[in-house]
């Protein structure tokens, strides 16, 4: 088989601790996308991080492929977003076919004025390579390859782990252990923790083929195509002229037999036609499960990504949701370590991310059930929907070939401050922030590029500057030493000039902030380090800000606050 990618080999170095024992504040296990993202995030926030991986290269073969807008925004914050953009294949349009007819198409990015597209396709090994490049720039992040955790003892104040290497074992006393060692998590097993859910009785063939083809960069999905009757097929473009083709095979298919080139090549030829020459790059047959751990936290051990939850591949909700785990955990851990928040803030990692995992499992299960109906009546409804979708918009909306990864609205998180005033639109407490074009210091840019790593207060000024004493009062607010970064979002440049040097200013040059955040003069948004809305008001005040910041960090002393 051909290879468009040469896998790097990372050097194992003999750890100084061999045969001995040392202490570490933060250890991350697993240098996949999620482990890397968590390690980078924590290192960027100023902590010293040790990342252990039992292998010595990046992800091999066909794995993650589609990275969603939200993931790109997180990667931007981690310093790897632009590399992914430059190498990846950007797409927004998905087409769905039944038989040989197109029944439906969707556009992931119907709204203008967002920096990042709906989705970008890139082989997982490139994503890992770009994250590693960023990780290597951080002097407080150490990566040890071919260091395998073989024993874990977890207790209230930390864990003791045994690490195995070619030169022997060593012990680490770890205060905070983050586990991103994948679906078959060794650490989850070592700790005897359950992961429960549903196994799907179906098999799928992945073929990555190299070819020069003039198909557009779109996601094409077939129900029951003439070249593969009664089963589904998915075609996707990747970087380097590689195309991902995914054939549903059914439960009775023999995986070993189906992987053979003499079996695979005719399938692909039937699909592409004789005119397209192609080479096989990778072939595998997979099955999948939808399941999650009961608790993503165990003492001071935190499970992220596939180690904590798994979904079917329809919807690209695996790596994308894992990156959001990292995004959610890092800032909470930073505040707890720095003494700005009590340890119970870390329970909200499980609260928020298990909610998101359930939503992802629900959506990917629904897609799977639509794509592979489990009963005769389910198939009858599915085919009726596809049939009616040619003509009727209501049926088109029911066609489900994968609801592509979007971030969860954490709208009932205990960290949110409920609205006390009327707002319209989607930016409710718990919402993942929407982007908007902003001019800052004379340069055009984007709102989300200014948000992250700390709490931020955005105050909107429409027809007059915000009172200087209010800005001062808000900037002086502290909750256990924690402050907010304040930006005045000004409706136009003239107003921005009037705000002067009293605060950082962003100019809402296209009015998208006003529109998307339902802002009027004086409207204020408190946003979290992971770019989720924590609270919003029509009028900000010291009392309101302190209460909301305390609530968002579990520092609230109000008895009724549901932080526990």
Partner 1 sequence: MPLMTEPNFKEFDRPVFREFSPGDDFYEALIAAHEGLSEAQSHEFNAKLVLFLSNHIGDLRVLREAFRLARESVTQP
Binding site for partner 1 (CB under 8 A): 363, 366, 369-370, 375-378, 381, 385, 387-388, 391-394, 396-398, 400, 403, 406, 409, 411, 426, 428, 431
Specify the residue, 67 or 409, whose C-beta has the smaller distance to partner 1. 409
Check if the beta carbon of residue 559 is closer than 8 Å to that of residue 517. no
H helix intervals, 372-448: 376-389, 393-396
- SS3 track for 50-63: EEEECCCCCCCCCC
Q: In angstroms, what is the minimal distance from the CB of 409 to partner 1?
A: 4
Specify the residue, 166 or 377, whose C-beta has the smaller distance to partner 1. 377
Q: H or E element: which one contains 263?
A: helix 261-272
Q: In angstroms, what is the minimal distance from the CB of 393 to partner 1?
A: 5
Q: H or E element: which one contains 546?
A: helix 542-552
- Strand partners for 153: 160
For residue 321, CA distances in Å to 331, 334, 359, 376, 439 come to 17, 21, 10, 33, 30
For residue 127, CA distances in Å to 71, 84, 284, 312, 373 come to 11, 6, 20, 20, 34
H helix intervals, 57-123: 69-78, 81-87
Q: In angstroms, what is the minimal distance from the CB of 105 to partner 1?
A: 14
Specify the residue, 69 or 83, whose C-beta has the smaller distance to partner 1. 69
Specify the residue, 87 or 366, whose C-beta has the smaller distance to partner 1. 366
Q: In angstroms, what is the minimal distance from the CB of 32 to partner 1?
A: 27
Q: In angstroms, what is the minimal distance from the CB of 421 to partner 1?
A: 17
For residue 87, CA distances in Å to 45, 65, 67, 130, 561 come to 27, 12, 12, 10, 46
Specify the residue, 280 or 398, whose C-beta has the smaller distance to partner 1. 398
Q: In angstroms, what is the minimal distance from the CB of 384 to partner 1?
A: 8
Specify the residue, 215 or 381, whose C-beta has the smaller distance to partner 1. 381
- To the nearest 10 degrees (0 to 180), the angle between helices 542-552 and 468-475 is 30
- To the nearest 10 degrees (0 to 180), the angle between helices 319-337 and 69-78 is 40
Specify the residue, 173 or 369, whose C-beta has the smaller distance to partner 1. 369
Q: In angstroms, what is the minimal distance from the CB of 103 to partner 1?
A: 13
């Amino acid at each position: 088989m051909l290879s468009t990618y040469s896998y790097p080999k990372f050097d194992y170095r003999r750890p100084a601790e061999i045969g001995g024992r040392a202490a570490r504040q933060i250890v991350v296990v697993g240098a996949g996308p999620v482990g890397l993202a968590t390690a980078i995030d924590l290192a960027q926030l100023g902590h010293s991080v040790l990342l252990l991986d039992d292998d010595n290269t990046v992800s091999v073969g066909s794995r993650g492929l589609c990275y969603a807008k939200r993931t790109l925004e997180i990667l931007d914050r981690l310093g790897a977003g632009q590399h992914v953009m430059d190498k990846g294949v950007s797409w927004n349009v998905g087409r769905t076919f039944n038989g040989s007819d197109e029944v439906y198409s969707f556009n992931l990015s119907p709204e203008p004025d967002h920096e990042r597209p709906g989705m970008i396709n890139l082989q997982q090994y490139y994503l890992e390579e770009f994250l590693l490049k960023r990780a290597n720039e951080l002097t407080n992040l150490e990566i040890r390859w071919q260091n395998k955790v073989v024993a874990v003892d977890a207790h209230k104040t930390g864990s003791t782990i045994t690490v195995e290497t070619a030169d022997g074992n060593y012990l680490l006393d770890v205060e905070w252990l983050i586990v991103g060692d994948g679906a078959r998590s060794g650490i989850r097993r070592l700790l005897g923790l359950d992961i429960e859910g549903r196994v799907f009785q179906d098999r799928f063939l992945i073929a990555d083929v190299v070819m020069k083809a003039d198909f557009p960069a779109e996601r094409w999905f077939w129900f029951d195509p003439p070249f593969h009757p009664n089963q589904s097929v998915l075609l996707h473009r990747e970087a380097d002229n590689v195309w991902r083709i995914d054939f549903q095979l059914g439960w009775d298919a023999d995986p070993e037999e189906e992987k053979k080139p003499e079996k695979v090549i005719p399938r692909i030829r039937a699909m592409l036609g004789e005119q397209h020459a192609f080479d096989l790059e990778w072939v595998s047959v997979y099955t999948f499960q939808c399941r999650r751990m009961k608790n993503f936290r165990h003492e001071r051990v935190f499970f992220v990504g596939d180690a904590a939850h798994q979904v079917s591949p329809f919807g690209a909700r695996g790596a994308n949701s894992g990156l959001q785990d990292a995004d959610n955990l890092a800032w909470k851990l930073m505040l707890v370590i720095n003494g700005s928040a009590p340890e119970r803030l870390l329970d909200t990692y499980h609260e928020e991310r298990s909610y998101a995992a359930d939503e992802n499992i629900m959506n990917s299960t629904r897609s799977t059930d639509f794509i592979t109906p489990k009963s005769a009546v389910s198939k009858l409804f599915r085919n009726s929907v596809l049939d009616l979708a040619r003509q009727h918009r209501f049926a088109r909306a029911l066609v489900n070939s994968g609801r592509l990864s979007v971030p969860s609205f954490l709208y009932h998180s205990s960290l949110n401050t409920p609205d006390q005033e009327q707002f319209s639109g989607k930016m409710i407490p718990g919402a993942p922030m929407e982007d908007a074009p902003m001019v800052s210091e004379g340069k055009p840019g984007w709102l989300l590029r200014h948000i992250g790593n700390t709490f931020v207060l955005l105050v909107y000024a429409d027809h007059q500057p915000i009172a200087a004493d209010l800005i001062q009062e808000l900037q002086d607010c502290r909750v256990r030493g924690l402050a907010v970064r304040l930006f005045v979002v000004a409706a136009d440049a003239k107003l921005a000039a009037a705000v002067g040097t009293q605060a950082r200013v962003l100019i809402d040059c296209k009015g998208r902030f006003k529109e998307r955040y339902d802002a009027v003069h004086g409207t204020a948004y408190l946003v979290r380090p992971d770019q989720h809305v924590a609270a919003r008001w029509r009028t900000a005040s010291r009392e309101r800000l302190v209460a909301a910041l305390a609530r968002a960090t579990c520092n609230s002393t109000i008895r009724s606050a549901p932080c526990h």
